Amino acid sequence: MAPTIIITLVLLWQCVLLGYTYTLAGNAADEAVRAAAVGESCQQAGEKDLPGAWQGAEIDCGGSGTGYVTADVKLKVPVLLPGLIGFPIPVHAHAGAVKEVPN
């Protein structure tokens, strides 16, 4: 019975890390697009609140030529312990906002 309980706990912990990574990616995309909407650095704003184990996110901002800006974020999901190794399939997040015009 002990191996079954341990495997179940490990799988639950991995699900927690997956969910947390989705939350971090969504927040990073929101912060990046807010910064891009007012003309600030998209990359820095997206990485600002990421914990150390999730640093190195791929953040791509676009749409600056139009009145709409977007941010796409890719984060790797850690395997069991944040900061060691990550799954090869990243988590994606996308956000968009209308570009603000200064008065």
Which pLDDT score, from 0 to 100, does residue 64 have? 57
Both tokens of 42, joined, read 């998209």
Which pLDDT score, from 0 to 100, does residue 41 have? 86
Q: State pTM to two decimals.
A: 0.83
Distance (Å) of CA 6 to CA 12, 80, 89, 98: 10, 13, 25, 48
Which pLDDT score, from 0 to 100, does residue 65 have? 67
Instruction: Using 70 as the pLDDT threshold, list the residues of the chain that sit under it.
Output: 64-65, 102-103
Which pLDDT score, from 0 to 100, does residue 26 have? 93
Which pLDDT score, from 0 to 100, does residue 103 have? 59
CA dihedral 45, 47, 49, 52 (to 10 degrees): -160
Which pLDDT score, from 0 to 100, does residue 86 have? 75
Which pLDDT score, from 0 to 100, does residue 93 have? 93
